[in-house]
Amino acid sequence: MVDPRVVSVSGCLAIGVVMVLVIDVWPSGRLMRPFLGTGLLGGYTTFSTYIVEAQRLIEQASARTALAYLAGTVVAAVGAVYVGITTARLCTDRLARRRETG
């Protein structure tokens, strides 16, 4: 079984990449952002599992571990979105420069 944190963080990385593509590369597809970001990738990420895992830890009297789990996952998810956005922008900028120089 895949760790839910891996799924959530990889989904956030994909959200970063997809948002750059939808906003910068295909701006005319205004419904693509909610369809791909909220719908498809929102369903892929497992943040509901993330909450259940934290609740399970709290019930086991591991409140500190639960808090670290919650905070760590949020930091990793936001970081993954940032990495996805940055990487996608670098790639699209590089492709645009190649097209300009022929």
Cα-based distances in Å from 34 to 18, 40, 41, 51, 52: 11, 9, 10, 23, 25
Tokens of 46: 């497992």
- Total domains in the chain come to 1
Q: Is the pTM higher than 0.75?
A: yes
C-alpha–C-alpha distance, residues 88 and 102, integer Å = 21
What pLDDT tens digit does each residue of the chain (102 aa) get?
A: 777 788 889 999 999 999 999 988 887 777 888 888 888 888 888 777 888 888 999 999 888 999 998 999 899 999 999 999 999 999 998 888 888 786
State which residues form the domain around 25: 4-101
Name, in order, each residue with C-beta under 8 angstroms of 33's C-beta and a sequence gap of 6 or more. Answer: 19, 22, 23
